[in-house]
Structure formats: C-alpha cells, structure tokens
Structure 1
Amino acid sequence: MTSQTEYGHRTGRGLDVLALVSLILIACSLRPAASSLGPVLSEVQSAYTLVEWQTGLLTALPGLIFAICGFIAVPVLKKIGLFSSLVMTCVLIAVGVGARVLVDNWVSFAGLTVVALAGMSIGNVILPVYVKTRFPDRASLGATAFTVSLGLGAMFPAFLTAPITGHFDNWRVGLGIWALVPVCALVTWIILKLARSVPNLDQPEQDTHQAGPPRQHIFTSPKARYMAMFFGLQSANACVQFGWLPQIYRDAGIDPVLAGLMLTVVTLGGIPGGFLAPQIIMRNILPRFFLVTFSVSAVCGYLGLLLIPTTVPVLWAILLGYGGFAFPAALALITGRTKDVSITARTSAFVQSSGYVLAAIGPLAVGGLLGLSGGWSVPLWFMVCVAALMGVTGYLAATPGTVDEELETSAPRGGASGTCGGTTGLRGGMPGQK
C-alpha cells in the first residue's frame, strides 16, 4: 500500500526499500574515484611517466575539488532540482571514472579525475537533503545508511583494486570497474523517479504581500561555524592518517607490511562508526560526551605513536580508528541540527566546503613540520593539538538547538514570521523540481 507525502512522492514498503537501495548506491559512488587510485598509483605513474609534482597533484585533487565544487552544489540544486542534481552526480562520476582509464596522456587522466570528483562533491552536499526529505520519520536510518555506504565506497575500492588489477594484469580494468557503481545508482534513481517516489522540492507560491526576514548567511550561525571546524579538524585527522600513518610506523622500525596493516585497522573503524555515530547524534544519546570521547581517543592514539610506537602498535591504530567515528558524526550533525530543507542544504555546503579547506592544511602542515624538525615529535604534537581542538568544536557543535533557530535569532526584526531566507514550511526556498 502506498501513500503520498507533502513533498509529492509516493511511499510504501517496496518504494521505501528501493529508495534506501538508491541512497546506498549513490553514497557508495562518492568515494571510489579517490580511494581506488592509491593501490595502483605506481602503475599510473609508470604509464604516464609522472614526476613527483604530478603524482602529488593527483593525490591532492580530492580535497581541493571537494572544497571548490561543494560551494556550487546548492546553486545547482536550486537550478535543476533534486532528481536532476543526483542524475548529474552519477553521470559525472561514471564518465570520469570510466573514461579516465581510456586516455593515453596525463592531462586527460587528471581532467577526467576532476570530472568524477566534481560529481562526488555535489553528491556529498545534496545527499543529506535527500535523506532529510525522503526519510523524515526515519532520520537515523537514512543517516546511518548514508554514512555506512560512504565507508563501504571507500573501503572496497581500496581493498579490491589491486587484486582486480593483478587478476587481469591491467590497472585500467582495476580502476575502470568502479564506474559500474554510479551506473547502477543511476538506474535505481531513474526507476525511483518513474515510480514517482523522488521528493519534489517545489516551493509553493507565496503571498507577495508578505515579506519574510532577510536571508541570513549560514556563517552567522555559531553552531554552523563549529560544525565546519569540527568537520575540518576530523577531516585533517583522516587525511594525515591516510597519507602519513604507515610512514610513521615504518620510521619507528615496524615492518612495512605491518605498517600498512595498521592503516587498514584504522579504516575498518569506519564501518562500526558509520552505524553507531549517526544513532548517537540523531537519537540524541549523550552526543557531546561521545564526540569528546572520539577526540580523547585520537589524542591517546597520537601520544602512543609519539612515546611508545612499537610497544602495542595495534592499540594506537584502534584508538585512532575510534577517533575516526567523528566523520559519520559530523555528517549526522548536518541533518540532526537543522530542520528546514534549505537550511540543511546550505549548512551541508558550508560545513563540507569550508571544512575541506581546513582539512587540506593538515597533511601540508605535517609535511612541513616533518621537513623542518627532521623527526616525528613536532608533527605528532601538532596532531595532538588538532585532535584536542576537534573535541572542543565537536562539543560546541552538538549543543542543543538548531542552525535554523540561530539564524532566526540573528535575523533583523520585521516582516512576516517564517523560516530563514524569507520562506515558510519545509521547502524553505527550494526550486521547482526538474
């Protein structure tokens, strides 16, 4: 039995399952273009005869493109609507991932990687809006499916690209096969649209005699600023760990294979974190306490690496892995601390784009401090400070209240009442669905 919601989409048991599958597939598409490259980076270097700066640029592209393109996601959503925006996301990823393995020069490979990353960046921002509108009564289910799928979309390409490459003796197959994920996501998304089960964010006609309060920039909300700092600091932690953790272990005297395994232990923490952290945020289960524990765990992990890295190396990896629960928690805060759909979209864009700018500084700072100091003591003390600040900003971001309420408080008085941006209702200024 089906019914229709205020966003005009049909719901029912079968349609809800299909909507969840579509969410999972789209979310799984948002990481393979980045996480599949590392395992075959040496093959790509050889194929295109890359020098160091070219290789460095390829590895730096995800954070850079996520920061830049995240700002255009909301304008794209407003211009073409939810359905077309996520179609664009899937198409860009599929084309970028699939076509880059067919070209024979580095410039084209890098350009098509940018195309895929641009699609991923737009999807990063827009999917929380889909979660908010398609699963309004099951927010924790939608948030959990989103964050767990992001983790799976990063983990499986990282684990399987090298074996696939070895099996076919062709790195192009190992990279290109991940284009199938966004293709499958696109198929389910179109089927969902044909079944009229995609939320329609049309804004109803408003009374032109009423004037809502002036539109407030998300930056004016202290909670949004803390969320952006928390997102950026936890992303800086993740980027440093992905880029430097094996080397930290190796420089301490640990076998290279075991050093790589320690990073695997850290990344595996993303799966239980994807299940648990959204539940903590969406169900309001002592969120400030848990966010602080993520920070404390990361601090202890870095201190262990600093003081006794070879004594119980797996313990430091486990502690850093638990600290990584901050990532799904940061994403869940976007939907858990906003109410109006337009505020969710704008907060998502602001938090992720500005957060990735902050995140990009982390690996660069660690590399610079390593070069200046000649050892890991100074960089690791720096990361202890970063992890501690993550706890402070997480505590402040998870305080009771919403971004919507803070924007309403900061809006100049006068005019008709309503939500931020001069709109009323949950549609909050979203455009007509295309």
Structure 2
Amino acid sequence: MMVFMNGEETRTITSPPVRSSARDADADADLRTPRTRAWMTRLVIVGIVLTALNLRPAITSSGALLEEVRDGLGMSGSVAGLLTSVPPLCFALFGVMAPRLARRFGLAAVVAAGMLAIGTGLVVRPFAGSTAGFLVATAVALMGIAVSNVLMPVIVKRWFPDRVGSMTGLYSMALALGTATAAAATVPVTRALGGSWQAGLAVWAALAAVAVLPWLPLVRAKGTPLSAAGTAPAPVAGTVTEGRQEPAPLRITRSRTAWALAVFFGLQATAAYITMGWMAQIFRDAGVPAGTAGLLLAVTMVMGVPLAFVIPRLATRLPHQGPIVIALGLCGFAGYAGLYLAPAGGAWAWALLLGISNCAFPLALTMVGMRARTGAGVAQLSAFAQSTGYLISIPGPLLVGVLYQHSGGWGLPIALMAGLMVPQVVVGVLAGRDRTVEDEAAATR
C-alpha cells in the first residue's frame, strides 16, 4: 500500500487486488457501486456517532452519583478511588486485545459486541447488591468501551483516509456530547425515577442497545474494510489493496514518538478520569448542591463538543501540534489553581477551563492517525498508545481517593493534578513532532 497524506488530502496509488474467489470478486464489485457505497458510508457515520456517544456515560453517570453509590454499597473513600481507577485498568487490559479480535472477527463485529457488553454491564451493575458485583459488572461495560476506543481511529483511517481530522472531530464531538449528557442528566433522571440511584444508572443501557443496530448490516456485508477478518481492506474509495497478505507488524516499541504519544495519552487520561470521578464531589464538598455539581461536571464535559471538532481539524493543518498541547496545559493549570483557591466562588470558570484542558483527548486521537502512514500502523499505534497510556493512568484516580481520605481535604489531590500537567505538556510536545512510527521503527533496525 502506498498512501501519501498531507493534512486532510490523500493521494492514492491503486494496484490490482488479489481475489480469493470469484464470489469475493463479485461481492466487492457490488460494494463499489455508488448506491451501495453511499448507504454504507452513511451507516458507518451513524455507527461511529452512536458508538462514541456510549464511550463515557458508564463513567460519568457513576461519577455524578458517586456519593449515593458509596452510601448504598458502603464504600470507603479508598474503595471509591479504586472505582474511579477501574476504567483505565480495563482499557489497558482489554484494549490491547482489540486489533487481534478485529483481525479474527472483523471491525464491525467487534464494535457491535462491544456495544452489547456496555449495555449488559450497565443493566447488571446497579442491581449487583455488593461492591464486588458492582465492580465486576462495571468491568464488563468497560471491556466493551475499551475495544471500541482502540478501533474507532482504525475505522476512521480505513473508511475515511482523506478525512481523518474531520471524522476524528465528529467522533470526538459525539463522545464529548455523550459524556456531558450523562453527567448533566443522571441526577435529574434519578429524581424523575423516584430517587433510585440504581434506576438512574441502568437507564444508560438503552443508548448502548441502540448503538448495536448500525453495525449489524456491516457485519453481514462481506468484503468491506469493516467486515474483513484477517484480510487487508477491500479496494473502496480512498483505500488501496495489493493483496490479502497482512503486512508484517511494526516494532512499535522502537519508536520514540509511539512512547511519547503513549505517555501523553496516559497523563491526559489520568486528568480526565480524576475529573470525571471526583470533580462533582470536589464541588459538593465546597458547598455546591448536588444538582449544580452535576451541571458543573457536565459543563466541563460539554466543552469538548465544539472543541473536539475544531482541534482535530486544526491539528491536521499544523506541522507540529506542540502549540495546541501547551495551550491546553495552561488552561489546566489555571483551572486547578481556581479549584484550590476558590472552588465554589469561581466554580463555573474552573469548569470551563478544565473542560478546555480535557480536549487533550481528541488531540491525542488525532495524533494517533497522523503519526502512522497506514491503517495497519494506526491499529498498532492506537492499541499501544491507548493500552500503555491507560496503564499509566491507573494510579492517578486511586491516589486522589487515598489522599482525600487521609488528608481530610482536597488541597493535596488538586496539587497532584496540577503537578501532572508538567510532564503531560512535555511529552505532548514530543508526540506532536512531524514524523511517523513506521520511519522510526525502520531506522532502529
């Protein structure tokens, strides 16, 4: 495959595909007709948006009701910190499996199964009746989120190779919208359902059930880049296939950019999961009512809706993404300083600043697509950066819970959050340099 990318423009050189059978050839020919291609493209876009909407409600809904969950299950502050560390742990453990599962069963099948796992976990966990059961059911939902997290950049790269920035922006915007909606609506929905925190958490399973639907026709549509299992993508618009032979895996650990991107991903994830798990509690402890605290968390999350669309498009037009990393880091410093000095007095301003800072996530996803030239390279880099990054992020939320419980306040936890911004900016600047993991891995042989 030879693909030359410059920003959002892609020039493709196509060579004849190797057909495994006449039936495969006929199927691929049918899929390349304009009418079929058009409806499949629309279906992929719908699937991407619905999937993205489901990638954070499992986390922010429990964050909005953390106090009720703790009281209902008898959790200590340290155990609650463990709960906020479960998402990155699951993302690290299960995310690394995503490329192998996709090669075996196809991208669409794995994402559909992921949405089903999310729905199942969200239905079961509120009624598990114990802390252990709650954590296990949460892990089931997070397993579905983990594989979808890793595969979304791969789907964007394979289906929209000439629109990586705009499609990553759409995906990130939908993800931020789902995050913010769950944060803002969980408390009011719980009240509308009679004050039951179990019902308030379980209701989000319905959204996951809807997200399964658009992937099912793509699983059945043989010969597409999303249904292929263990094969190169079929030659649809914007992709190239030189045969069914899968490219040799990269030695991804030899790339300094891959490591920088993994650490950047891990540190931004640390900040994000601390925010999602603890920010509402910080405001509530400062005297802010529970409903308002949920709205403040929603404001932080909703900032990602417009910015998640703008930042990836801007990033693909810059030769170096370092200036964006620095700007986001400065917003984070300002937000944490405000939380430390006047958490209730300037609550809305701190929520806005931290919402801007959390847009390091769509920037990291965009850099995953930009730091590799091929779909296979993106799959490996996405799995490596996300799995390694989430491993790095595991101690952060847990440490915040321990510091909060043993110090009796939020001063030390907030100081920790601000301190982690320094290495995040440094590695983000390194990850933003204009180079690819394929070139770096080859240079070290």
* TM-score interval (norm. to shorter): 0.7 to 0.9
Q: Which shifted more, 47-56 or 131-140?
A: 47-56
In structure 2, the partner of 1:174 is 200
Unaligned ranges ≥5, structure 2: 1-15, 19-27, 233-242
Pairing 1:184–2:238 present: no
Within a 5 Å distance, the mapping from 1:100-179 to structure 2 comes to 100-101=125-126, 103=128, 107-169=132-194, 170-179=196-205
Of 229, 238, 259, the residue aligned with 2:272 is 238
The RMSD of aligned alpha carbons is 3.1
CA contact (8 A) 2:91 2:390 kept: yes
In structure 2, the partner of 1:294 is 328
In structure 2, the partner of 1:420 is none
Q: Which shifted more, 84-93 or 241-250?
A: 241-250
Distance 1:387 1:90 in 2: 32
Give the residue type in structure 2 aligned to 1:63.
P
Of 40, 54, 66, the residue aligned with 1:15 is 40
Pairing 1:202–2:231 present: yes
In structure 1, the partner of 2:23 is none
Distance verdict in 2 for CA 1:132–1:313, change over 3 Å: same
SS in structure 1 opposite 2:204? Answer: helix
Within a 5 Å distance, the mapping from 1:296-335 to structure 2 comes to 296-307=330-341, 312-335=346-369
Give the residue type in structure 1 aligned to 2:189.
I
Distance verdict in 2 for CA 1:29–1:316, change over 3 Å: closer
Deviation per CA, 1:223-267, whole angstroms, max 9, x where unpaired?
11111111111112222333444455566x554456555433322
In structure 2, the partner of 1:353 is 387
Deviation, structure 1 residue 106: 5.0
Distance verdict in 2 for CA 1:6–1:37, change over 3 Å: farther
SS in structure 2 opposite 1:65? Answer: helix
CA contact (8 A) 1:296 1:391 kept: no
SS in structure 2 opposite 1:122? Answer: helix
Distance 1:312 1:163 in 2: 24
Deviation, structure 1 residue 368: 4.7
In structure 2, the partner of 1:400 is 434
How many residue pairs align between the two structures?
401
TM-score, length of structure 1 as denominator length: 0.81
CA contact (8 A) 2:64 2:280 kept: no
In structure 2, the partner of 1:382 is 416
CA contact (8 A) 2:257 2:431 kept: yes
CA contact (8 A) 2:77 2:404 kept: no
Within a 5 Å distance, the mapping from 1:66-105 to structure 2 comes to 66-101=91-126, 103=128
Deviation per CA, 1:278-297, whole angstroms, max 9, x where unpaired?
11223337622111111112
Q: Which shifted more, 228-237 or 196-205?
A: 196-205
SS in structure 1 opposite 2:154? Answer: helix
Deviation, structure 1 residue 151: 1.3
Deviation, structure 1 residue 161: 2.6
Deviation, structure 1 residue 362: 2.1
Distance verdict in 2 for CA 1:192–1:61, change over 3 Å: same
SS in structure 2 opposite 1:37? Answer: helix
Deviation, structure 1 residue 32: 2.3
In structure 2, the partner of 1:428 is none
Deviation, structure 1 residue 54: 5.4
CA contact (8 A) 1:273 1:324 kept: no
CA contact (8 A) 1:240 1:363 kept: yes
